[in-house]
Each structure stands twice: as structure tokens, then as C-alpha cells.
Amino acid sequence: MTVFENLPFWIIFLTSVCLFAAASEIGHRLGVRDGGEANIATLEASILGLLALMLSFTFAMAVTRFDDRREALLKESNAIGTAALRARLLPAPHNAACVTLLREYIGVRVELAKAISQPAPIEKAISRSNAIQESLWKEAKAVASKDTGMVPTGLFIQALNDVFDAQESRLTAFRLRVPRIVFLALYGIAAVGIGFSGYASGLEKRKWRRPVYIVNLLAASVILLIQDIDRPDSGSVRVDTQPIMDTAEALANDRMDVDPSPARYR
């Protein structure tokens, strides 16, 4: 769970802006109180550089997790499509049964993609997926007991294992988040960096609010974007589910009837 995960984005943004504004005002007042001449431009640049580095590090971490979720969905889509093609090579009546189960299975996976922000439907979809997996495995065991050949039985079992593994990979990628400690460190460095800019302006008695508040807004905006990318269940930046929907449509619209006659596969 990340910082502010259950809060609306507008609250996160306002909280960030208020935090950084308070840090800059406190820093400025401390600078005015200390007064005097001090050459701290290099130190100020170093702290802001550290903030930029931390922002880029956290952004890269969130994007990597986003890419993992996208790749997991694509792999699952491809695995289901491959299993459906190989299921057609099985002897009757297992071919028709497996194709029907896979069509139902990918329908459940599409529903999971659509209901990704609702915990109850997610658990229901996972439970239904597991039940269909069990039925598919029973069909595979029944075929293997009759035909131990590598083609087509062995290839179908291999494809089925890929389908099962793809579900766990997709769920794991969905659950991955940027660690809480990273966000806490990011907020801490941002507050210190912006506060130090205010402090430097107080020492030098210069006009400061416009540039410091611009940095304030930019930092808050980037942090908001990072948290948006890091939320696969409620963010506006989401993985495109088109690959798995295309596979589901292809299976649903495939009018190639599965021949129940075993002679077709001899």
C-alpha cells in the first residue's frame, strides 16, 4: 500500500501543495531571522538536484511496474489464444469441451479487466477462473490418460500451464506498488529542498514566492502523476486491455466448428 492510496487525487495534490508551501514559508522566515550574507547557491542547487534525482527514480519505478502490468496482460492474452488453438487438435469430445471452457475463461478475464477497481468482483472473477482452470486440467488429464503423445496432447498441456502461470503473473504485477518508504523519502526530500529555497531567499532578501511556488506546483504535479501511474485500480493511467479483448472477440467470432469425429485428427 502506498501513501494516500485510498484518497482522491485532488486531495493528494492539495495536501502536497500545502505541505510544500508551508515548508517554503517556514524556510523563508528562518532565513529572514538569521539574516547576514551567505553564499549557499551551490548547496541550494545540490538539494534541488537531489530532489530531481529522487523524482526521476520514483517515476521510473512506477513506469516499470506499469510496463510489467501491460506485459503480463499481453502474455496472458497470447497464452489463452495459443491454448485455444491447440485445444482444437485434441480428440473428441475433449476438443469441444476445452475450447468452450477457454471461451468462458477469457470472458472471465475480460470481466476482471473491467472490474479492476472493485475488490468484490475481482475476488469473484479469480475464484471463477480457478474453477475453470480445474475443469481444464481435468480434461487435460483425461486426454493424457488416453493419448500420451507429445502432439497434440503434450503441446496442449504445455499451453495450459502457460495459461495458469499467466494468471499468477498478472495478479502479481497488479499488486506491485512503489514501496511506501520511497514515497515518504520523496516527500521528505521535496519538503526540505523547497524549504531550503525559501531559506536562501530569506537570507538574500530577494523576491522569492513566484519561483519557489512554481517549483512547489511542479513537484506536487509530478508526485501526483507518479501516484496515478502506481494505481492500477483507480488511476487515470491504466493498462490498455485491448489485447485480451481482441483475443476474446476472436474466440467468440470463430465459427470454425470443432469436429467431434476423431478421424479428423488422424
Question: Per-residue pLDDT tens for 65-79?
Answer: 999 999 999 999 999
Mean per-residue pLDDT, 141-163: 82
Q: How much is the pLDDT for 154?
A: 84
> How many independent structural domains does the chain possess?
1
Q: Would you say residue 260 lies in a domain?
A: no
Whether 258 shows a pLDDT value over 50: the answer reads no
Mean per-residue pLDDT, 162-184: 89
Q: Which of 165-169, 182-186, 190-194, 206-210 has the lowest mean pLDDT?
A: 206-210
Q: Would you say residue 1 lies in a domain?
A: no
Mean per-residue pLDDT, 181-202: 88
Q: Would you say residue 100 lies in a domain?
A: yes
Q: Is the peptide bond before 121 cis (omega within 30 degrees of 0)?
A: no
Global confidence as pTM: 0.78
**Please, which pLDDT band fits residue 28 given cuts at 50, 70 and 90?**
confident
Q: Are 167 and 137 in contact (CB under 8 A)?
A: no
Q: What is the DSSP letter of 263?
A: G
Share of the chain above pLDDT 70, in %: 85
Please list, in sequence order, all residues whose beta carbon lies within 8 angstroms of the beta carbon of residue 176, skipping any fewer than 6 positions away. Answer: 65, 68, 69
Q: Would you say residue 263 lies in a domain?
A: no
How far apart CA 103 and CA 122 sit, in angstroms, is: 19
Closest listed residue to residue 22, CA positions, set 216, 225, 222, 223: 216
Query: 257 vs 39, 107, 260, 261, CA distance in Å?
Result: 81, 19, 9, 11
Q: Are 116 and 122 in contact (CB under 8 A)?
A: yes
Q: Would you say residue 110 lies in a domain?
A: yes
Q: Which of 68-72, 147-151, 164-168, 226-230 has the lowest mean pLDDT?
A: 147-151
Q: What is the CA radius of gyration of the chain?
A: 27
Residue 108: all three cell numbers together = 472471465
Share of the chain above pLDDT 90, in %: 30
How far apart CA 99 and CA 126 sit, in angstroms, is: 20
**Greatest distance between any 2 Cα atoms in the chain:** 96
Please list, in sequence order, all residues whose beta carbon lies within 8 angstroms of the beta carbon of residue 151, skipping any fewer than 6 positions away. Answer: 89
**Number of helices followed by number of strands (H, E) in the chain:** 8, 0
Q: How much is the pLDDT for 120?
A: 60
CB-count exposure of residue 151 (10 Å: 0-12, 13-18, 19+): exposed
Residue 186: CB atoms within 10 A of its CB come to 22
Q: Would you say residue 264 lies in a domain?
A: no
How far apart CA 102 and CA 94 sit, in angstroms, is: 12
Question: Per-residue pLDDT tens for 42-64?
Answer: 777 888 889 999 999 999 999 99
Q: Would you say residue 60 lies in a domain?
A: yes
How far apart CA 220 and CA 47 sit, in angstroms, is: 17
Q: Would you say residue 249 lies in a domain?
A: yes
Coarse DSSP helix, strand, coil percentages of the chain, rounded to the nearest 5 percent: 80, 0, 20
